[in-house]
């Protein structure tokens, strides 16, 4: 498998075999990390990390993974670069592409990361856009594989805003990898018809199925993985909380929902999560609407079925695989 020179912008651009290869490569990097085996084949190289939105996991994963691979890292925060305000994406891409071997971008429209990739001349990695979160998918696949030993034929049910980055990406992931995807959400929060159609064509190849339902219990039925995300994403206005609480509350992941899934079902969440009042926003919104938790109950989040911290750790190993595969090609292993 040789992915040298490729950008990683959405799973749509990758075959199931390529995706599986990246997950396996990540598993081997994880083993090496635990054994203390050095993997610094990219000594002397450098990567730029552009973050137009905040991050804990994605930033730390790129930084640690790049250092483990022997690379230098430059972090551009949401305020301190010229990007978009004084300098176009195409110009920025050509400048950064002349200094760095690869560029990570987290920000707004997918079109921005696509344009960056068109002009950079080096691999560009999508660290989250409004539409997609592809590096998260690799971590989720690795986690599912670690827990169950496989992912093909498994059912993943996603609850909440299914038309944004997480819902979209999970549907693509399941459709490509032969997993059964169910979205439990109000109709207006279903993924776009165009994306569903595209995923149906992947599903035909892989044996996956796609179910969109307003009935949360139906979505959870016999699922192996229950998954949710925040109800209001980064960059969205505060005003949308009212509507989200009203329409998404029936899709909160509760013990009753978990009990409707398979007996050994797990809970995943890309994080950060509002499962208590121990965050500024969780406390403010929770108190305002009289809710002790938002998208997932603390009971589920803290249960043995919750694999969210294993999933978070896997962000680093999978991001390492993406950088290594696209910079080293066949030498990544």
Q: Give the interface with ligand CP as residue ranges (CB under 6 A).
A: 55-58, 128, 136, 270-271
Residue nearer to ligand CP on the CB measure, 50 or 212: 50
Q: Which of residues 193-212 bind ligand NVA (CB under 6 A)?
A: none
Q: CA 112, CA 43: separation in Å to the nearest integer?
A: 29
Residues, the chain: 333
Residue nearer to ligand CP on the CB measure, 136 or 254: 136
If you search the block for the tokens 């509507």, which residue do you land on?
A: 243
| Residue span 112-151 as binding mask against ligand NVA, x where in contact by CB under 6 A, dash where not | ----------------x-----------------------
**Burial group, residue 235, by CB count within 10 angstroms (0-12, 13-18, 19+):** exposed
Residue nearer to ligand NVA on the CB measure, 61 or 92: 61
Q: CA 110, CA 288: separation in Å to the nearest integer?
A: 33
All residues at 6 or more sequence positions from 248 whose CB lies less than 8 Å from its CB, including other chains? 160, 161, 185, 186, 189, 231, 295
Q: Which of 14, 164, 189, 274 binds ligand NVA (CB under 6 A)?
A: 164
Token readout for 55 is: 């991050």
| 16 DSSP β-pair partners | none
| Residue span 254-273 as binding mask against ligand NVA, x where in contact by CB under 6 A, dash where not | ----------------x---
Question: Is 229 noted as a catalytic residue in this protein?
Answer: yes
Question: Is 13 noted as a catalytic residue in this protein?
Answer: no
The residue count for binding ligand NVA (CB under 6 A) is 9
Q: Which of 135, 165, 260, 306 binds ligand NVA (CB under 6 A)?
A: 165
Token readout for 46 is: 């450098």
Binding site for ligand NVA (CB under 6 A): 128, 164-166, 229-230, 233-234, 270
């Amino acid at each position: 498998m040789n992915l040298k020179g490729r950008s990683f912008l959405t799973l749509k651009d990758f075959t199931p075999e390529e995706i599986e290869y990246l997950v396996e490569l990540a598993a081997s990097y994880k083993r090496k990390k635990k054994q203390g085996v050095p993997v610094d084949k990219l000594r002397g190289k450098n990567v730029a990390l552009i973050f137009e939105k905040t991050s804990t996991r994605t930033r730390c994963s790129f930084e640690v993974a790049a250092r483990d691979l022997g690379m230098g890292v430059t972090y551009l925060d949401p305020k301190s670069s010229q990007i978009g305000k004084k300098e176009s994406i195409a110009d920025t891409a050509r400048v950064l592409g002349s200094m760095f071997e690869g560029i990570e971008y987290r920000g707004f429209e997918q079109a921005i990361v696509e344009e960056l990739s068109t002009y950079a001349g080096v691999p560009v990695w999508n660290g989250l856009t409004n539409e997609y979160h592809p590096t998260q998918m690799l971590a989720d696949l690795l986690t599912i594989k670690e827990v169950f030993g496989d992912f093909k034929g498994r059912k993943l049910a996603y609850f909440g805003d299914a038309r944004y980055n997480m819902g979209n990406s999970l549907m693509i992931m399941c459709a490509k990898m032969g997993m059964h995807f169910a979205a439990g959400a109000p109709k207006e929060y279903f993924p776009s018809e165009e994306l569903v159609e595209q995923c149906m064509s992947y599903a035909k190849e892989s044996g996956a199925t796609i179910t969109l339902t307003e009935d949360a219990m139906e979505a959870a039925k016999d699922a192996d993985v229950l998954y949710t995300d925040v109800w209001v994403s980064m960059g969205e206005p505060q005003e949308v909380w009212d509507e989200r609480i009203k329409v998404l509350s029936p899709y909160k992941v509760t013990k009753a929902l978990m009990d409707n899934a398979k007996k050994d079902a797990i809970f995943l969440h890309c994080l950060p999560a509002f499962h208590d009042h121990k965050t500024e926003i969780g406390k403010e919104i929770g108190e305002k609407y009289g809710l002790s938790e938002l998208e997932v109950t603390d009971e589920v989040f803290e249960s043995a079925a919750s694999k969210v911290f294993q999933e978070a750790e896997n962000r680093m190993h999978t991001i390492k695989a993406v950088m290594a595969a696209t910079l080293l090609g066949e030498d990544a292993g």
